[in-house]
Amino acid sequence: MTTELEGLAERLREFARVREWEQFHTPKNLAMALAGEVGELVAEFQWLTAEESRHPDAEALARMRTELGDVTLYLVRLADVLGVDLVEAARDKLDHNDRRYDADRYRGSARKAPPTA
Amino acid sequence: MTTELEGLAERLREFARVREWEQFHTPKNLAMALAGEVGELVAEFQWLTAEESRHPDAEALARMRTELGDVTLYLVRLADVLGVDLVEAARDKLDHNDRRYDADRYRGSARKAPPTA
Amino acid sequence: MTTELEGLAERLREFARVREWEQFHTPKNLAMALAGEVGELVAEFQWLTAEESRHPDAEALARMRTELGDVTLYLVRLADVLGVDLVEAARDKLDHNDRRYDADRYRGSARKAPPTA
Amino acid sequence: MTTELEGLAERLREFARVREWEQFHTPKNLAMALAGEVGELVAEFQWLTAEESRHPDAEALARMRTELGDVTLYLVRLADVLGVDLVEAARDKLDHNDRRYDADRYRGSARKAPPTA
């Protein structure tokens, strides 16, 4: 994990420890909490056009940023209790996608394959 | 953003550029893709007991790690197209939570308030 | 519940009973399974434009229909184990929305309020 | 669709029409709204134990019922704009699951296969 993500993970560990919330922070519960926060993030975009979503006003962007913060916190906490390094896991998946989605074959097409997935 | 998250964001930018997929990577679409990946992550935990989720077998853990990688990629890409620094957003939210959830008042209780949220 | 939704709920009860899966069908687990299926449904729409989503090709529509079926099954099963009548719950919420979103005030605007929510 | 679900779909059509919200109710947007509501539903269960989720107190159950109502409204509306009959789609999927998950082979096991999925 990066120094800064590791720093977040440590703060979250301490946050849970002093409140005696480790008992609630099972991977199962944290995955649900992550899903709940992603639901709130998606809700920020649901009625925006594609173009509007590229240029949110300051108020909407502030709410999106808050939700992105929440999602990051639960993601880092979940990875931490599972002992997974998020950056390594993401790099491995991106290496895989680089091989899977040949640039020439998939250029400009969302039909043949989901971009980056 | 941390050097390592910034590195991921740059790789994702290049990944989208060479495939001409920037047109698909609106914040709206990326938020949906993130929700889809979080759905796959949640599905890994849905039939596990709390205790089983703390000690997944090697095969389940490998699948969870892959899904965590996918979630991280879309989260980093979404934050990047919105111009949001994920680590700063997470720190700001954690500062807020530190003030909101007084350790003495919320100790050991998931009833009074959702842990960390 | 309507006769037809009640019929689905009964089939799902029997489906779980003969497989001895009631033990896994806690409301918590079923809510997670529902979230997982909704993630798959969202993924069907993530790279489509607004217009494309209104006119999916036959193959995409068939996949969407399958996912809608999955979502319905888990929703009916979850409501059944909680003892909630889905149609009554939906009607009550729609009555509430009718009062909350005055037609003249909210006409044509997704800014002031989320449509139907 | 059942008479009662059809009745809901008709009310939702009228609800959108008088507010001129059909423009926002693309299948893509409605799928996002559904995901947002399911996120709120999941959040009701995230810190509950399996056992607690089976016996929510009256206040929690009322919130769950409200969220189930919201999910049902968006699910019915999404199916309606896509022209999909939810009950038929669910029955077809359940027929498929009946064949796929042999009762003797899958009895009592969440390991071999996800129950009902």
What string of pLDDT tens digits covers the 117 residues of chain A?
A: 558 899 999 999 999 999 999 999 999 999 999 999 999 999 999 999 999 999 999 999 999 999 999 999 999 999 999 999 999 999 999 999 999 998 888 898 865 445 444
DSSP B47: T
Measured distance CA(C38)–CA(C62) in Å, rounded: 16
ipTM, interface predicted TM-score of the complex: 0.93
Residue A17 at interface with chain B, using a CB cutoff of 8 Å:
no
* pTM score of the predicted model: 0.94
Contact call for B32 and C38, based on CB within 8 A? no
Residue C95 at interface with chain D, using a CB cutoff of 8 Å:
no
Given this model, what pLDDT does residue D115 score?
45
- Tens-place pLDDT, residues B12-60: 999 999 999 999 999 999 999 999 999 999 999 999 999 999 999 999 9
Contact call for C108 and D65, based on CB within 8 A? no
Strands (E), chain C: none
Task: State both tokens at C29.
Answer: 């687990």
Contact call for C31 and A31, based on CB within 8 A? no
Residue C3 at interface with chain A, using a CB cutoff of 8 Å:
no
Residue A52 at interface with chain C, using a CB cutoff of 8 Å:
no
Picking from D32, D48, D49 by the largest number of A CB atoms within 10 A of its own CB, the best residue to mutate is D32
Measured distance CA(C26)–CA(D50) in Å, rounded: 6
Residue A108: count other Cβ atoms within 10 Å of its Cβ. 11
> What is the per-residue DSSP string for D15-72?
HHHHTT-TTT--HHHHHHHHHHHHHHHHHHHTTS-HHHHHS--HHHHHHHHHHHHHHH
* Exposure letters C21-46 (e unless 16+ CB within 10 A, then b): beebbbbbbbbbbbbbbbbbbbbbbb
Residue D109 at interface with chain B, using a CB cutoff of 8 Å:
no
- What residues of chain B lie within 8 A of the CB of A114, using their CB? 33
What share of chain A in percent tops pLDDT 90?
82
Given this model, what pLDDT does residue B20 score?
95
Task: State both tokens at A98.
Answer: 């680089």
Given this model, what pLDDT does residue B117 score?
47
Q: C97 or D110, which is more confident?
A: C97
Q: How confident is the model at residue B2 (pLDDT cuts 50, 70, 90)?
A: low
Residue A111: count other Cβ atoms within 10 Å of its Cβ. 11
Residue A3: burial class (beta carbons within 10 Å; 0-12, 13-18, 19+): exposed
Contact call for D50 and B46, based on CB within 8 A? no
